Amino acid sequence: MKMTLVVDTEDPHGIRDAYKIIGHFFKRVDTMGSTGREVKYSKIHFIKVLRTFAREGKAAVDRGEDPASLKFAKKFADEIFIEKHGL
């Protein structure tokens, strides 16, 4: 598909709309942008991950671990990435 987009530089609303249109098509076509380490979440899914992290943090405190450590956060993130996305 080919498209020509003409932009009136004196129309700020038109420029904004053109940017949205190009962004829409770029997201649909861009396959090179994903590095394999990039994951996108919806807001609801992100909230669910945060709740799970909080529960894991409470359990870690009971086991005597530090849930605020980088090691704990990395371990949790690795588990989520592997489980949900196979990364």
Number of domains in the chain: 2
Domain match, 58 and 29 both? no
Domain presence at residue 38: no
Q: In which domain, by residue range, is 68 found?
A: 43-85
Instruction: Provide the whole-model pTM.
Output: 0.52
67's CB contacts (< 8 A; 6+ apart) are 56, 57, 58, 60, 61
Tokens of 80: 């989520």
pLDDT at 31: 54
Domain match, 27 and 47 both? no
Domain presence at residue 79: yes
Domain presence at residue 48: yes
Q: What is the pLDDT of residues 14-50, one digit of tens each?
A: 888 888 888 887 777 655 555 556 667 789 988 999 9
